[in-house]
């Protein structure tokens, strides 16, 4: 079992930065993946970024490459999403997700464990 708790959302102006945190509890494994997804009103949940716990491979949606960075703190069992140069279209509820065996990193259906979400609002 995994429990995920996100924090760090808020209201910022375009061009600003935010850092989201996802504190994970529970066991990890060689194929453990922690990811970030987001969902805007009226839209489907979409992949943002992910990181494999072992090896450290990272993955990003094209829309956030070069602006967002996913990192982890092993000691705190926490994954971070550093979001720079935020745009109004980044406005959404951001969710942390995890699973032990993910084949298609960007497919939300492959993640069994989800946090409660944190709102990010970017004003123009």
* pLDDT at position 30 over 70: no
Instruction: Write down the pLDDT at residue 46.
Output: 97
Instruction: Write down the pLDDT at residue 77.
Output: 86
pLDDT, tens digit, 9 for 90 and up, residues 105-124:
999 999 999 999 999 999 99
**In 3-state terms, what secondary structure has residue 16?**
coil
Of 9, 25, 8, 45, nearest to 98 by C-alpha is: 25
- Greater pLDDT, 114 or 25: 114
* pLDDT at position 29 over 90: no
Structure tokens at 26: 């529970």
Which range of 10-14, 25-29, 49-53, 56-60 scores highest in mean pLDDT? It is 10-14
* pLDDT at position 53 over 70: yes
The three state secondary structure string of the chain is CEEEEEECCEEEECCCCEEEEEEEEECCCCCCEEEEEEECCCCCCEEEEEEECCCCCEEECCCCCCCEEEEEEHHHCEEEEEECCCCHHHCEEEEEEEECCCCCCCCHHHCCEECCCEEEEEEC
């Amino acid at each position: 079992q995994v429990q995920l708790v996100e924090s760090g959302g808020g209201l910022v102006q375009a061009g600003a930065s935010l850092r989201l945190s996802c504190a994970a509890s529970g066991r990890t494994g060689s194929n453990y993946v922690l990811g970030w997804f987001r969902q805007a009103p009226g839209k489907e949940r979409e992949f943002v970024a992910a990181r494999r716990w072992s090896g450290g491979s990272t993955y990003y949606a094209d829309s956030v490459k070069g602006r967002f960075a996913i990192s982890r703190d092993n000691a705190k069992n926490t994954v971070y999403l550093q979001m720079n140069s935020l745009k109004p279209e980044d406005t959404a509820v951001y969710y942390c997700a995890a699973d032990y065996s993910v084949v298609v990193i960007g497919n939300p259906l492959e993640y069994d464990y989800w946090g409660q979400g944190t709102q990010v609002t970017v004003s123009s």
